[in-house]
Amino acid sequence: MTYRKITIVLIFAWITVCAGLTGCGKKTPAQLSRETRLEQSPQYQDGKFQNPIFAPVMASGSFWKYVKKRVMVPRVDPEPPEGVIPVTPIIKKEWAAPEKSRLSFAWLGHASVLIAMGGKTILVDPVLEERCSPFSWIGPKRFHPSPVAANGLPHIDVVLITHDHYDHLEESTMRYLADKAGLFAVPLGIGALLEEWQIPHEKIVELDWWEPHDAGPLRLTAVPGVHYAKRGLFDGDQRLWCAWTVHGESRRIFISGDSGYYDGFKTVGRRLGPFDLTFLKVGAYDDLWKQIHMLPEEAVQQHLDLQGNIMVPLHWVTFDLAMHPWYEPADRALESSNAKGVTLLTPPIGAVVDLDRLPKENRWWQQLK
């Protein structure tokens, strides 16, 4: 093949890829509207979303410190013995037509939660497959089965997504819910991903920080967190991250997603609190990246800043995402909550908790060490 023909073929291939994969072709009104909203967001500067405070993912030199720690430091109890984590299967009919006055939930493991509130069913950051990874054959693997598969979920009125990481946003589950869930509420930029996964754009609501959206009797508000976004090699911080507040007629909840600690949670507490329940991340931490993943003691302080009543720890005992023992996040959160007078609710995975009929104290993980 001549040099000229090779050049033509390469140019044609580039145009095809550009138009088909990167959106260089004609853009839809929805795509143009989304780009405009991103560019007009106060959080979007220099082509990327920014944190409310300076918070690098890892401080200078920390990556190599972590590599050294990972190679040189022996692990202590990185995962529980196989089959010991108690899991209660979700029964679909128990979630049908929840009462408007009911506030109940079931922790599905890691950051996934099923919530009944204001007569609606909410699904938070659903990750139900065996691995939180772009690949089915490699990546962090579950310590326990999911209490429910996607096809076993009840009708979902609202899907809430906090950010785009694989342990919070799972393509297979989103595709399954595309024609089954009523609304997908996400931070700015994630709507494009959902549309690629065949979720109708009219079902997607993208919100900036402090922006509310009413879903029937519920008011959803995206609020700031200190984290980052990345799903591929070249899309760092092209999508926003957030925490969520949900206000019903008489109840309020806070859902943290991932974040480092900062004083801004006090503002959330003043403006949108107090909260009956706070669902807060306590695991997958390390001093090397605490600026974007808070420590358990900081999560307890976050709960106090938010003016929370009952705290539910999330983001532990499902995947091995840091160097700490599998049970340490809950132990540290419990010790700190006892010291500060915080009510810590730690139900087993899949167990249904009704806020009006709280179960007896259950520190189930302490018996499995």
Which numeric CATH code is attached to 92-356? 3.60.15.10
H/E/C letters for each residue in the chain? Answer: CCHHHHHHHHHHHHHHHHHHHCCCCCCCHHHHHHHHHHHHCCCEECCEECCCCCCCCCCCCHHHHHHHHHHHCCCCCCCCCCCCCCECCCCHHHHCCCCCCCEEEEEEECCEEEEEECCEEEEECCCCCCECCCCCCCCCECCCCCCCCHHHCCCCCEEECCCCCCCCCCHHHHHHHCCCCCEEEEECCHHHHHHHCCCCHHHEEEECCCCEEEECCEEEEEECCCCCCCCCCCCCCCCCCCEEEEECCCCEEEECCCCCCCCHHHHHHHHHCCEEEEEEECCCCCHHHCCCCCCHHHHHHHHHHCCEEEEEEECCCCCCCCCCCCCHHHHHHHHHHHHHCCEECCCCECCEEECCECCCCCCHHHHCC
Under a CB-based contact definition with an 8 Å cutoff, are residues 278 and 312 in contact? yes
Under a CB-based contact definition with an 8 Å cutoff, are residues 209 and 245 in contact? no
pLDDT of 309 over the 50 cut: yes
Over the stretch 139-157, which tens digit does the pLDDT of each residue have? 999 999 999 999 999 999 9
Over the stretch 76-98, which tens digit does the pLDDT of each residue have? 999 999 999 999 999 999 999 88
Over the stretch 255-297, which tens digit does the pLDDT of each residue have? 999 999 999 999 999 999 999 999 999 999 999 999 999 999 9
* Residue-level pLDDT at 301: 98
Q: How far is residue 325's CA from residue 66's CA, in Å, rounded to a whole number?
A: 16
Over the stretch 319-347, which tens digit does the pLDDT of each residue have? 999 999 999 999 999 999 999 999 999 99
pLDDT of 227 over the 50 cut: yes
This model's pTM is above 0.85: yes
pLDDT of 64 over the 50 cut: yes
* Residue-level pLDDT at 18: 34
Phi-psi region of 210 (alpha: psi -120 to 50; beta: other; left: phi over 0): left
Domain range summary for the chain, segments of one domain joined by +: 92-356
* Residue-level pLDDT at 59: 78
- Comparing 100 with 324, the larger pLDDT belongs to 324
> Residue length, the chain?
369
pLDDT category at 24 given cuts 50, 70, 90 is very low
pLDDT of 25 over the 60 cut: no
pLDDT of 304 over the 90 cut: yes
* Residue-level pLDDT at 33: 83
Under a CB-based contact definition with an 8 Å cutoff, are residues 85 and 143 in contact? yes
Over the stretch 186-201, which tens digit does the pLDDT of each residue have? 999 999 999 999 999 9
pLDDT of 7 over the 70 cut: no
